[in-house]
Structure 1
């Protein structure tokens, strides 16, 4: 299971990422659209762990406007080991400072997150697919490049664990 603190993109950016997902799905490349029956929406995860208790996260982040208003520039395509394909977010000073602030508050509340999401290790990204078939990776990368660059504004955030039906918005 995976739980995450997700940042959500504005309407236009969300529409463009969903159009990319549909194009890839039409070519037989699975995306987040088909993972867990379309429960995912385009997002950038600030933190992830096997589980996150929503009430603890809400309390830890009380008084902080999580992500809202941040400007994101998605300018490149990347891959993680395991056939994971993503759109890369340029790591600006304001994004990295916000990320560090969120993690400092989570740590102070005793919330443990995966090391790869910790400040200094985090690669900001918007996942496209968790399992691109190897023979179709080049095709998928080309399709991703067609929508870049992508300018987005963060319009909301939530604690989400889609496999367990958890989706708790943050203010």
Structure 2
């Protein structure tokens, strides 16, 4: 089984991003993120074949020491290959990298089961807007996003864990208030 550990945002930010997803769904140019039960997030790690109960216990202990923090989404990025992903890029704050670094330190013994893209020194934090977008459709999808995109501030309020394919939310832990 594949599991993701994600950071989640305040409700206003989630609603804003879901609204973009709704508009993109109408284009039919890639994966429907609403249809697959996705939720706006930034992924800290994705693991294959870990002990779920043990991981959840450790994530609860980790979350106790994390404070909520603010990020800004000021730009749009693209991973054209192999996933055809278009995403929001957060400003790269010390808090964001500290949470990522501390998480991977706390789960260091999981390193062999983690996806390389999310490991320290290889991670590009992002919040996906479009996925599995054919290369020839990227300009169209990007054009739709640019019609509604406004730079925004979000508050990272919780950390959680989900299983993938299909997405099922397994736990969510509120972070300490700033």
Task: Give secondary structure in 2 for the equivalent of 1:136.
Answer: helix
Is the Cα–Cα contact under 8 Å of residues 57 and 159 in structure 1 kept in the other structure?
no
Q: TM-score scaled to structure 2, two decimals?
A: 0.82
Cα distance in 2 between the residues matched to 1:114 and 1:65: 21
Point out where structure 1 has 5 or more consecutive residues left out of the alignment.
Answer: none
Residue in 2 that maps onto 1:42: 40
Point out where structure 2 has 5 or more consecutive residues left out of the alignment.
Answer: 174-178
Residue in 2 that maps onto 1:15: 15
Does structure 1 residue 127 correspond to structure 2 residue 125? Answer: no
CA RMSD of superposed structures (Å): 2.3
Residue in 2 that maps onto 1:137: 138
Q: State the shift of 1:43 in Å.
A: 0.9
User: Structure 1 residues 21, 165: CA separation in 2 closer, same or farther (over 3 Å shift)?
Assistant: closer
Cα distance in 2 between the residues matched to 1:29 and 1:167: 26
Q: TM-score scaled to structure 1, two decimals?
A: 0.85
Task: Within 5 Å, give how 1:1-80 maps onto structure 2.
Answer: 2-30=2-30, 31-34=32-35, 36=36, 39-65=37-63, 69-80=68-79
- TM-superposition CA deviations, 1:30-57 (whole Å, max 9, x none): 33113x3xx1111110111234433222
